[in-house]
Amino acid sequence: MARQVSLATQLAQSPSAWNGHIAPLILRAMTDVYITLAWIFQDREKRTDEYVKYGLGQRKLWLEHFKRSLVERGEKEPEKNLFVKALTRQLNAERFEHITEVNVGAWSERSTRKMAEEAGCLDLYRLAYTPFSTAVHSMWTHIAGYNLRRCRNPLHQFHRVPEDSDLEPDIDYVYRAAKYVAKTFALFDRETGVSVETPSSLDQFVESLAHPTGEAQTDSPDPLDDL
């Protein structure tokens, strides 16, 4: 939940990132956080343990790769490297390095889509996670829409040429981020039985967007409001 707040806050504080290039990178991470948390809640104790141990195993694996790179660059005793020693202490503070297992597969042993299906949030995966992934992975649909334009010369058969156009900030991306934070808190409340009467920051944000000058406005319903 803290991760969601951090991602949304950083996006909200960076208007230059409110565009189709950068915002989807953050929003996709936020949908990933929600799906992961929702799936963990299905079997809290077991899956929380797997999640933590997988993360520690990945840190151990990276540390071993880093020490190997130091040896290849001429260091004979990489264990004495200050950075290596600091990371090793950090790892051992949570779980001793010699008993930390490394899993090179998926920590949940299933795809994100399968996790979303089992956690009851497949629509979020299909309508948010997947389209945001086109920007994360620089897929053709994203490149064609944001970094290519048609040449106007018919003799060139209207081929595409690269461009890096300026994009106007779109606050709708911040709105999406705020909704994912609220969605995550609602999930936590539902799964833990927590009840909070205080209006959410999302409610206040939506109110400020709907009535920027204190006057009521009517907007058409958003088909993605629940996502």
Amino acid at 84: V
User: What pLDDT, on the 0 to 100 scale, is given for residue 201?
Assistant: 81
Kindly report, residue by residue over 36-75, the tens digit of the pLDDT: 999 999 999 999 999 999 999 999 999 999 999 999 999 9
User: What pLDDT, on the 0 to 100 scale, is given for residue 186?
Assistant: 94
Cα separation, 51 vs 191, whole angstroms? 18
User: What pLDDT, on the 0 to 100 scale, is given for residue 227?
Assistant: 67
Best CA proximity match to 122, nearest among 108, 109, 112, 131? 112
DSSP 8-state symbol, 80: G
pLDDT tier at 216 (50, 70, 90 boundaries)? very low
Q: CB of 116 within 8 A of CB of 37?
A: no
Burial 41-78 (b: 16+ CB within 10 A, else e): beeeeebeebbebbebbebbeebeeebeebeeeeeeeb
Mean pLDDT of 22-28: 98
User: What pLDDT, on the 0 to 100 scale, is given for residue 207?
Assistant: 86
User: What pLDDT, on the 0 to 100 scale, is given for residue 153?
Assistant: 81
User: What pLDDT, on the 0 to 100 scale, is given for residue 61?
Assistant: 95
User: Domain spans of the chain?
Assistant: 2-136+168-210
